[in-house]
Structure 1
Amino acid sequence: MDVIMSYQHSIVVELVNLIEMNIQHDLSIEKLSDLSGYSKWHLQRMFQRYTGMKIATYIRNRRLSKSAVMLKQSDLKVLEVATAIGFSSQQALAAPFNAFSVKAQRTLERARMGLFKHLLPF
């Protein structure tokens, strides 16, 4: 069983590398399935087992985090960043980016509360 798990892990690592190298392109589970030779269902299941998230979620989160870095470290306009990272328009980036930012902020706030929880009176 360890050999199978190790093999599946290496498939997921290769898949992550493929996604990272092609993040700006139109990536879909169908295309990744064709490239890997695995069924969409099996590929999704393997990926989720090792990463804890669906392939589409991983791709979206990586695009959003790369967008944030590009916006912070460059003078590019939002539209330029959106198209460079694989979004079809500025609007296609804006809504998920805002949701991603809010979620990240809430996670950070919860983590901070956890650090000081022993100081709270309740």
Structure 2
Amino acid sequence: MNRVNIIREMLLWVESNLEHPLSLDSVTARVGYSKWHLQRLFRKHTGQRLGSYLRARRISAAAEEMCLTDYPIIYIARKYQFADQQTFSRTFKNHFGLPPGEYRNANSCSKKRLCPPLKLL
């Protein structure tokens, strides 16, 4: 399997596991490359850092769920593997510029700042 296919398969796996603990170590164990080699490959083929992509996908999935459901924020925070609501709120505000409650209440559910899943050609 060539390297692009390995990255493509890894991206599919990441998407299906956003609700599970995802660390660089767990992703590299799944792929079978060293952490450093996988990060270089990922950046070469996507232009993004792997860790940043994982965080952006997780917070984007949480934001989309906040807009589509009435689930409590703490439920969504835990679902997407944030340690607590404070960590989730801080990460969310840093990414979207608004705390989660304001984002949901202000009908700010736009595609702006969402990180869509990467698709390699």
- Considering the TM-score relative to the shorter chain, is it more than 0.5? yes
Number of the residue aligned with 1:105? none
Flag structure 1 segments of 5+ consecutive residues without an equivalent: 1-5, 103-107, 109-122
- 1:82 Cα shift? 0.5
Number of the residue aligned with 2:65? 70
Matched, 1:34 2:29: yes
TM-score by length of 2: 0.75
Q: 9, 14, 21: which one pairs with 2:9?
A: 14
When the two structures are aligned, how many residues end up with a matched partner? 99
Number of the residue aligned with 2:100? none
Higher relative contact order structure (alpha carbons within 8 Å, sequence separation ≥ 6): 2
**Radius of gyration: which is bigger?**
1
After TM superposition, what 4+ stretches of structure 1 lie above 2 angstroms from structure 2? none
1:77-115, CA deviations, whole angstroms, 9 ceiling, x for partnerless residues?
11000111121211121111111113xxxxx6xxxxxxx
Number of the residue aligned with 2:101? none
Q: Provide the C-alpha distance between the structure 1 equivalents of 2:5 and 2:75, rounded to a whole number of angstroms.
A: 34
- 1:66 Cα shift? 0.8
TM-score by length of 1: 0.74
Please provide the CA RMSD for this pair.
1.8
Flag structure 2 segments of 5+ consecutive residues without an equivalent: 98-111, 113-121
Matched, 1:58 2:53: yes
**Segment drifting more, 59-68 vs 30-39:** 30-39
Q: Provide the C-alpha distance between the structure 1 equivalents of 2:62 and 2:26, rounded to a whole number of angstroms.
A: 23
Q: 33, 49, 74: which one pairs with 2:44?
A: 49
